[in-house]
Structures are given as structure tokens and as C-alpha cells.
A and B are shown apart, each in its own frame.
Chain A
């Protein structure tokens, strides 16, 4: 018998990037993977819409890219390691991304991390 899938025992605030999400987000993640190369980051910045079309993003993914919204990007199948390359285009690090997802200011998010060490 197949073991119970991870998706059947959700952890609050956590999206398991499993086969279902990997299929859903394939085009989005493939586009973000391309951002390893500077020439591709430049091409995206010159014409975002055209670049999203080139990688075949669906409407949900295009909207999430337009909104620069990490939770929407995750919901659309984005994987955080590839999304980090998208965020990097705008000079955003993981603390900016963490703050955005938790609805905190970056300073509040940093304070939360510091508090975890006490």
C-alpha cells in the first residue's frame, strides 16, 4: 500500500513542493532557472511580458510575477530556490522575501529571527 502522501498531512504555512506542484509550476520554475544567466535577467527586464510568453507561463503565474508576490508565486507552483533567482533581479534577499510572506516589515522579521535564539 502506498504510504500516506505528505500533502495529506499539511503543515500550516508550508507548501510541500511535490510532484503535483512541480508539474503545476514547471514553466514558472524553468523561467526562474534561466535567471542564473545575466543575459536572461537582462532580457526579462527589457520585456517581462515577452519573456513570460517565451516560457509559456499561465495567467496565474504571469499575474504573480507582475505582483512580485511570493505567496502567489508559491501557490502557482513556484519553488523557493528558483524564485530566489527571480527575487535576486530586484536585489531582494531571503529576509525581504520572508517579511513579505509573513506580512511583517523586514525589521520585524529580523527581530523574530533574533528572538528564536533566546
Chain B
């Protein structure tokens, strides 16, 4: 059966994409952020997963409000990245893995997660920025991918407890896939930030620190929050924390933390990243 080796999480701020294109790795503003990533890249070089299942939220590239799934799973042979409207250079497509996608779709629905399946899907910065951070040679595509999209655009968003259970169902799906391939789960977005309203610029370092602890040791504690709590404590877009919770759900009960980085601010956001390894 396929094996999940661990999980990665990272913020997916669009400005990172431009900073990568301009190679601003040593720039004073960017260095404390980019310096967090080589340990994750080295961990990936060492573990060499075959497939990345990427949990993220679409920001109005693939989905509009006419049809907005709460949970969607990509089932395409490849995923295209196109213009999002504000100047990020589109990247070459990412290979999919339709066999794993359909196995996951069947397993998830059997598990009573009635997801939306997508045989065509554009992936936005929330997918591409993390891929570029973890596999920095953007001309290569060393892993197959399965995008999993969680609604963080329009309330009601899925509850954190449901997100943890969804992640657990994704874990069961992958670990029942008849293959000897290895899989890494990536949860993107967060940490605390708010873009809209007079509370724009809200950041909550204490809450983020607590989340980074609990995502390792006690994800059930995060699942007890309501979406309203998370919006209040992490900001309106800090609700992307639920993507990290889905990622954590797909891992085993016990994980070990390989690496983390946390830096305020990148753009309007407290930028966090973690590398978690599954314990047998």
C-alpha cells in the first residue's frame, strides 16, 4: 500500500512568488523567510516522495461563487496555473495522478465525505507558491500531485473538527491505495492575517505559536475551535489554518517535528512553515 511519509505546511502569500522570480533570497526583508526552507528541501531530497497531496484554498481562479464546493478533489492528468489578475507569472503545469485521485474520491465518499471531483482544474498561488518553496527548481516537476481544495472564501466554512476528520479520511484513502509509492501531504495558507475591513493587518503571534505546538502534539485541541473563534483569533484569512488541520489529520496519531520557521511579516501575514514526519 502507498505510504504517507509526513506532512509539510507553509504560508502561500502571492508576494513570495514574485520574490522567487526576482531571486530575492538574500534580500534583507526576505532572508529570514527564505532561510526557513532549505531544511524542508533537504528533507524532501532525502525522503523523495513520489506524490504530493496538496490541501489549499482557491482564491477565485478555479472556482467562482456560482458553484463553490466545500471540499473538492482534483482528478486531472495535469493542473494548469494561469493569470490570477494581479501580476504573478504563470508557471508550467503540474502532473496529476488520476489513479490516486479516483481512489481517494471513491474512498472519501465511502467514508461519507461527499466531495466534488474535478477533471479540469486551474491551481492558484496557494498551490504553486508552496510547490516552488519546497521544490525550488521550478523547471522540474519531481512529484505527481493531487490538489484538494477547501472553501475558505464564503461562510459557512467547514468546521475545524470536520477538517480534522476529512484529513483522517484522506489518510485512510491513501494508505489503502494499492501502490508502493510514497506520499507527502502539504497544507497551505495562514498563519494569522487579515486583509479586509478596518481590522486589516491583524496578526496574533501567541495564537500562531500555540497552533504550531498543537498541530504536532494535540490537533484535537485545534479541532475544538469554531470558525468564528479562528477568525477572531487568527484574522479573517487566518481561517486558512483549517488547511493545516486537514494535513495533520492525514498523518498518524504521533508525528515528530523535523523543522519549523515563523516570521512576521511577509506582506500582511505571519508566515509559518513546518515539516512533520509520520511515526510508525
By beta carbon, the residue of chain B nearest A112 is B201
Interface residues on B, range: 35 or more
CB neighbors of B among A1-23 (8 A): 6, 9, 11-19, 22
Residues of B within 8 A of A41 (CB): 85
Does chain B have a CB within 8 A of A74?
A: yes
A18 touches B198 (CB 8 A): no
CB neighbors of B among A25-83 (8 A): 26, 29-30, 32-33, 35-38, 41, 70-71, 74, 79-83
Interface with A: B58-66, B70-78, B211-219, which one?
A: B58-66
Does chain B have a CB within 8 A of A95?
A: yes
A17 touches B154 (CB 8 A): yes
Take A6-B227, A116-B205 as given contacts and tell me if A95 and B267 are in contact as well, using a CB distance cutoff of 8 Å: yes
Choice from A13, A18, A70, A74 contacting B154 with Cβ under 8 Å: A18
Residues of A within 8 A of B267 (CB): 93-95
B199 touches A14 (CB 8 A): yes
Choice from A12, A26, A33, A36 contacting B199 with Cβ under 8 Å: A12
B64 touches A113 (CB 8 A): no
Which B residues are closer than 8 A to A by beta carbons? 15, 59-61, 64-66, 82-87, 153-156, 194-205, 227-228, 231-232, 236-237, 263-265, 267-268, 270
Beyond A30-B66, A33-B60, A80-B195, list 7 extra A-B contacts (CB 8 Å): A13-B200, A16-B155, A74-B196, A79-B65, A87-B86, A109-B200, A116-B264
Q: List 18 A-B contacts (CB under 8 A).
A: A11-B231, A14-B197, A15-B196, A15-B197, A18-B155, A18-B156, A19-B155, A22-B154, A30-B64, A30-B66, A80-B195, A81-B59, A81-B60, A82-B60, A88-B87, A98-B268, A101-B196, A112-B201
Which A residues are closer than 8 A to B by beta carbons? 6, 9, 11-19, 22, 26, 29-30, 32-33, 35-38, 41, 70-71, 74, 79-85, 87-89, 91, 93-95, 97-98, 101-102, 109-110, 112-114, 116-117
